[in-house]
Amino acid sequence: MESGVALPPPSGIVQSMKADSPTQDESVAGRPGPVPAAADIVVVDGLRKDFGERRAVDNISFAIRTGECVGFLGPNGAGKSTTIHILLGLVRRSAGTIHLLGEEVPKHHQKVKQKIGVVPQIDSLDPDLSVEENLLTYAGYFNIPKRQAMAKTDELLEFFALENRRREIIENLSGGQRRRLLLARALINEPQLLILDEPTVGLDPQARHLMWERLEILQEQGTTMLLTSHYMDEVARLSNRVLILDRGRIVAQGEPEQLITDMVGVEVFEVEGTEPELDRLAGMFSQCEATMERVTGKLYIYTKEDCSRLEHMLGDRRNWLRRPTNLEDLFIQLTGRSLRES
């Protein structure tokens, strides 16, 4: 189910992987495993993390190839953020091996982090500094020479439509501007891997779309991305491949459309009614290849084939709808409907 699409070599805002990758030609076999293939930017094998009694990450393995955008999906406490924090060295692993950009971590973290960009879940912009100073100061942390940092800052402020806010203090920025600045900051070091931990959380639709457009441009340029999000539309739109995590394990992975069709079906009927009505309907729909789910007062019918011929059985009821399946259906099917609050 590998779908690592070979994207054109990156150029422009995010630096090419080619420059540092010595063995581009051996790059094809991107199978997860302890030995990193040349094109695998991330290789995680048997990763585990225990916080005392609680196992937050339970033996997960995956790989991310150059140019791919992999989406991490999962309910709260599924282990998404913990995994990302382990990749970045903010959390110690309990077991497993990790290779980033061909280097073993945590051993070579300092070297590797020089080439990673991160948009954190929690806004960590420096409120004591202006927009421009935020970028320049962060560039300093990467030891980027001043002249180069200033050129890059100009470029990023323009790309993210923040040029007219250059000297503004962070407090006066809108939520969308802050998020764009966080993304700009993550790109200051021309990363080969961009890690996005819920990059559009709390944004209004306009601001989200603007973020997505920018992220798509970065993708076209070949930036490798690891994305976590609660927004299914975001993951569906940006990811070539999704990993669904639940209770610290990967419960499904693959190309989103394929996964949805394979695991959920092609269409969903959502029908409301009394329990006897729904019982009767469920019986009738069993003529068609479909799986059913019952919630109080509601029947979901996930069809694996075209079941429109059964539509007449719903008669002239008003309280039903038929729609294509989506990532959210898959997500709910895999991780259940119950709330995850710790």
Partner 1 sequence: MNIAFTKIWVRNARVWRKHIMATLIGNLGQPFLFLIAMGYGLGRDVGPIDGLSYLQFIAPGLVASAVMYAAAFETTYGSYTRLALQKSYEAMLMTPLTVGDIVLGEISWGACKGLIAALIMVATLPFFGVWPSWWALGLLPLLLVAGIFFAALGLIMTALASNYEFFNYFISLVLTPLFLFSGIFFPLDTLAPTARFVFSLLPLSPIVELARMLTFGRLQGPLLLKIVIPLLVTLATVWLAKVLLQRRLIK
Q: 65 or 85: whose CB is closer to partner 1?
A: 85
Looking only at the bridges linking them, the beta strands covering 224-228 and 193-197 are parallel
Q: 103 or 328: whose CB is closer to partner 1?
A: 103
Q: How many residues bind partner 1 (CB under 8 A)?
A: 30
Q: Which of 9, 34, 46, 140 contacts partner 1 by CB under 8 A?
A: 140
- Asked if 175 is part of the footprint of partner 1 (rule: CB under 8 A), the reply reads no
Stretch of 125-133, 148-156, 302-310, 327-335 lying at the interface with partner 1 (CB under 8 A): 125-133
Q: Residue 221 and residue 206: Cα distance in Å, rounded?
A: 23
- Asked if 307 is part of the footprint of partner 1 (rule: CB under 8 A), the reply reads no
- Asked if 214 is part of the footprint of partner 1 (rule: CB under 8 A), the reply reads no
**In the range 24-83, which residues lie near partner 1 by CB under 8 A?**
51
Q: Which of 65, 85, 152, 241 contacts partner 1 by CB under 8 A?
A: 85
Stretch of 22-30, 66-74, 139-147, 292-300 lying at the interface with partner 1 (CB under 8 A): 139-147
- Asked if 127 is part of the footprint of partner 1 (rule: CB under 8 A), the reply reads yes
Kindly state the smallest distance separating residue 85's Cβ from partner 1, in Å.
8
Q: Which of 21, 27, 94, 114 contacts partner 1 by CB under 8 A?
A: 114
- HEC string of 310-333 equals HHHHHCCCCCEEEEECCHHHHHHH
- Asked if 107 is part of the footprint of partner 1 (rule: CB under 8 A), the reply reads no
- Angle CA 307–231–80, to nearest 5: 115
Kindly state the smallest distance separating residue 86's Cβ from partner 1, in Å.
10
CB 101, CB 110: distance < 8 Å: no
Q: Which of 20, 126, 158, 289 contacts partner 1 by CB under 8 A?
A: 126
Q: Which of 21, 27, 50, 91 contacts partner 1 by CB under 8 A?
A: 91
- Angle CA 265–266–269, to nearest 5: 90
Q: Residue 115 and residue 105: Cα distance in Å, rounded?
A: 13
Nearby residues of 136 by Cβ (< 8 Å), 6 or more positions away: 146, 149, 150, 153
Give all strands (DSSP E) within 101-188, no chain letters: 103-105, 116-119
CB 228, CB 71: distance < 8 Å: yes
Q: Residue 243 and residue 62: Cα distance in Å, rounded?
A: 9
- Asked if 158 is part of the footprint of partner 1 (rule: CB under 8 A), the reply reads no
CB 304, CB 265: distance < 8 Å: yes
Q: Which of 7, 116, 131, 278 contacts partner 1 by CB under 8 A?
A: 116
- Asked if 202 is part of the footprint of partner 1 (rule: CB under 8 A), the reply reads no
Residue in 248, 240, 227, 252 with CA at minimum distance from that of residue 96 = 248
Q: Which of 111, 280, 294, 340 contacts partner 1 by CB under 8 A?
A: 111
- Asked if 220 is part of the footprint of partner 1 (rule: CB under 8 A), the reply reads no
The label of the residue with tokens 């008669």 reads 315
DSSP run (H or E) holding 13: none
Stretch of 20-28, 30-38, 110-118, 217-225 lying at the interface with partner 1 (CB under 8 A): 110-118
- Asked if 128 is part of the footprint of partner 1 (rule: CB under 8 A), the reply reads yes
Residue 213, SS3?
A: helix
Sites of contact with partner 1 (CB under 8 A): 51, 85, 88-92, 110-111, 113-114, 116, 118, 120, 122-129, 133, 137-138, 140-143, 189
